[in-house]
Amino acid sequence: MLTYPAHIEKSDGAFLVTFPDLENVVTFGVTREEALQNAEHALNGCLASDFERNFTIPEPSLIIGNDMYPITVAPHVAVAIMLRKLRADTSQVEIARN
């Protein structure tokens, strides 16, 4: 299971979510539960978009702490990322030949 750590802190009556490994992903929720749900949607949306645009997907760090929560990457996004890593510099044509 592929997960990324999310930092959640209470700020101005809401729970702000940031991802240390993905600076462009920020969300929030009125409750911690809503923030966690929104974090999953934001993470998967960003990773899917970055993947489609052929951006480099960073490896998740192993940050732990009281305000850190592991957010699971959706299976279809995780598989696509893992396959790209496994494929490395091999073209689709070369893969098809084997």
> 33 vs 97, which has greater pLDDT?
33
43: containing domain: 3-97
The per-residue pLDDT for 93 is 72
User: pTM to 2 decimals?
Assistant: 0.86
DSSP secondary structure letters along 59-93? PPP---STTEEEEEPPHHHHHHHHHHHHHTT--HH
User: Hey, what are 7's tokens?
Assistant: 């930092």
CATH of the domain at 80: 3.30.160.250
Q: Give the Cα separation of 24 and 81 in Å (integer).
A: 18
**CA-wise closest residue to 84 among 45, 58, 60:** 58
Using one digit for the tens of pLDDT, what is the confidence trace for 1-48? 899 999 999 989 999 999 999 999 999 999 999 999 999 999 999 999
User: Hey, what are 59's tokens?
Assistant: 């490896």
**Total number of domains constituting the chain:** 1
Q: Tell me the average pLDDT across 39-64.
A: 95
Does residue 91 have a pLDDT over 70? no
